[in-house]
RNA sequence: AAAGCAGAUCACCUUAUCGCUGUUUCGAUAUAUCGAGAGAGAGGAAAGUCCGGACACCGCAGCACAGUAUAGCGGGUAACACCCGUCCAUCGUGAGAUGAGGACAAGUGCAACAGAAAGAAUGUACAGGUAAGGCUGUAGUGAAAUCAGGUAAACUCUAUACGGUGCAACGUCAUGUAAACCAACUUUUGAGGGUUGUGCGCCUAAUGUUGGAGGGUAGACGGUUUGAUUUUGAUAGUAAUAUCAAAACUAGAUAAAUGAUAAGGAACCAUUUUAAUGGUUACAGAAUCCGGCUUAUGAUCUGCUUUUUUU
């Protein structure tokens, strides 16, 4: 499959995000935390995804931008792990909970682990 | 060579692979998407939000007061607290830097130490003088002792400018209906209510009927990037800048694009075997748009000053 990450796969609706924070489940794999939820909307486009970095841990906009880009890149490269699961529409939110500027290699490996963890949990239930 | 002063320029580069956001061309179709190609995609400060505008809406912003800001002189500008020129003052050996540079001949306030006395009155020594007396001169204290004294980062006065709120402004469309909103008519009252800091002034309310259409859902689109624009040249001017001509189109996101990986090169630093190895490549990320200011920050270049050495 293609390693794209265009606007269809991005989570943009404010309503959906509020629901996600309200009733979503979470998987932690320091320094990344995934919050996910079964969406009410059915589009068959794979999970809708957003990323976020706390302003408290990173004051500079440059740093936050960089981490968000790394998270997006990590997801883009590894999304094949979860993308085949089309029985439900999911919404994802990746949070960066660390306090240090990460390397891409670390983000990529943790992203892989977290997605595999998600797979095993959701396939069981 | 060292130390310093002023100004200008750049903001690591190239290639490949995989991606992101607009634009545009072609082809498909379910008319909104998909596929392919082309081309574009952060800054000098995008930052702080401190000034000044454009633009939009509001009770059409009128007058008075209050309030705020500015302050040699002349010029520039859409405008400014900005910029240019110039005088003066202060600092520096100097290149230069700084400006809290309007008025104390309107009024009020304030003035350490010293001094009899600091704006209110008088007093010591010596000399002169008178009917008498600090009446006059000198000495003495101090930056200043009656001199149109000093002080306005003291009130104040003078001149000039300023209505308020900010693109989450505001407009259109879709969905859709309860109070509230708008228009017309009706009845009652001239009190009450509303109004940007205050007053004058200005606006009008309540009931019922009919018609229109709001709020909310941060829905979609517009506003939104062609502009006090950029580059080059000419002319005017000491300069800031202005005028004219030619060419160019140069980000437009919205939980927010501008990225990741690899290879090679460049600069700097450290180590040492002088050729490699390792590390580093600042400050920092557009959000309606411009002109400034302030702050953060890596280099490179140019001109100038002082000192020392050599000739």
Question: pLDDT tens-digit profile of A20-79?
Answer: 776 677 888 777 888 887 765 554 556 777 888 877 788 888 888 888 888 888 888 887
CA atoms within 13 A on the CB side of A34: 26
For residue A11, give the nucleotide whose C1' atom is nearest its CA: B255
Strand B interface, protein residues by Cβ within 7 Å: A 2-8, 10-12, 14-15, 17-18, 50-52, 60-62, 65-66, 68-70, 72-73, 76, 103-105
CB-contacted nucleotides of strand B (7 Å): 18-22, 34, 42, 217-219, 254-261, 284-286
For residue A7, give the nucleotide whose C1' atom is nearest its CA: B20
Here the tokens at position A96 are 């960066």
Between CA A95 and CA A107 the distance in angstroms is 12
Between CA A50 and CA A95 the distance in angstroms is 9
CB distance A92 to A24 below 8 Å? no
pLDDT in tens, A71-125: 888 888 887 777 665 556 677 888 888 877 778 888 888 888 888 888 777 665 4
Determine phi and psi for A55, rounding to 5 degrees. Answer: -70, -20
């Amino acid at each position: 499959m293609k390693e794209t990450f265009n606007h269809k796969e991005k989570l943009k609706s404010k309503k959906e995000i509020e629901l996600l924070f309200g009733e979503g489940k979470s998987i932690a794999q320091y320094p990344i935390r995934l919050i996910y939820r079964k969406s009410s909307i059915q589009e068959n486009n794979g999970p809708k995804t957003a990323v976020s970095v706390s302003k408290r841990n990173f004051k500079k906009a440059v740093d936050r931008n960089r981490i968000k880009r790394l998270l997006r890149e990590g997801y883009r490269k590894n999304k094949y792990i979860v993308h085949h699961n089309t029985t439900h529409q999911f919404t994802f939110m990746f949070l960066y909970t660390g306090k240090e500027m990460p390397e891409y290699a670390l983000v990529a490996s943790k992203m892989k682990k977290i997605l595999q963890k998600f797979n095993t949990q959701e396939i069981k239930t």
